[in-house]
Amino acid sequence: MDQQAFYEAVLHAVNLKLPSGHTAHFRKVDKTNDVSYTAMYLTVSGQRVSSPVIYMEPILKGRTEEEIEPLAQGLARALLTPPPDEATIERVMDPEYVRTHLVYRLIHEQRNRARLRECPHRIFLDLAIVYAVYLSDGIAGTGLTAVTNDLQRQLGFSEEELYAFASENTPRLMPERILDLCRAAGQEQMPAGEQFLVLSNEASFYGAAALLYSKQIRAAAEYFEDDLFILPSSVHELIVLPASARDPRELERVLTNVLSDSDQPENFLSDHLYRYLRASEEFVSVPRSLTGNQHASD
């Protein structure tokens, strides 16, 4: 059974388990980096209702026909989960709530140009800073609602105000998590001569935004007493090491290997190596030619 037939079989099995008048459907949803997912959603008596949108690819990858029935049972149950309460929806529209719960994320600028036309953002190196309203209570994971151009207009905030709010809120709501590379890989001791840190946030969700946490980046540079090289391994984490530790050409090869090993293109952040200049507190995007650096102030 090919993938399309398998997905259709799952959809059919889900619909057999839903109450009368309830129907599950598929639609394509564009995610980060122009990656499209197949999303399952619910209608009741032909009308779209507020219910979870479930992305199929992470759930169905590697599954077999023998698993269709238990999968369908779980998916039907998830679709019937009560929608967000009105208070949650109202919070997204409340300027005072947004003022204290707006956060930012980093995504690749060139790979997301169509998406960026629909939302307020600012350019940083070869990346884009985009905004979201933080809704999580920390129990069910990190809940974020993207800020679109329409939502920005309804809230009445300028992009400069959004950036100021997010710069204050993101380190507080999504605090950094820093591990040395051996602990991140589950090892007890770092190999001799190796100095790496893995920078993310406590949820490991869009943790690359910690690159914008000025205090933490300065602290890492002070810890190493050096400039920093930063490998953007994914939208969720960064690898940080002292600039004197490795030749940048070697690090570019490391980054290339990390990116080629990833099977989740939506998590791609950048294929450029960055350097943080400790003295001036600036970031430098190091082109693959190693010439013509591009600067971005902290």
Identify whether the C-beta of residue 121 lies closer than 8 Å to the C-beta of residue 128: yes
Structure tokens at 123: 């350019």
pLDDT score, position 251: 85
Question: pLDDT digit of tens for each residue in the chain (298 aa)?
Answer: 788 999 999 999 999 999 999 999 999 887 777 778 899 999 999 888 777 778 888 788 888 898 999 999 999 998 887 665 555 667 888 999 999 999 999 999 999 999 999 999 999 999 999 999 998 644 334 578 899 999 999 999 999 999 999 999 999 999 988 876 544 444 444 444 457 888 999 888 899 999 999 888 888 899 889 999 999 999 999 999 899 877 888 888 888 887 777 767 888 999 899 999 999 999 988 876 553 444 554 4
Alpha-carbon gap, residue 288 to 271, rounded angstroms: 9
Token pair listed for 20: 């009368």
Q: Where are the domains of the chain?
A: 3-79, 86-173, 176-297
> What per-residue confidence (pLDDT) applies to 276?
95
Under a CB-based contact definition with an 8 Å cutoff, are residues 102 and 147 in contact?
A: yes
**Cα distance between residue 199 and residue 234, in whole Å:** 11
**pLDDT attached to residue 92:** 87
DSSP string, 1-45: --HHHHHHHHHHHHHHHSPTTEEEEEEEEE-GGG-EEEEEEEEET
147-178 in b/e form (b: 16+ CB < 10 A) is beeebbeebebeeebbbebbbebbbebbebbb
pLDDT of residue 12: 96
Tracing tokens 């990390």 back to the chain, one arrives at 258
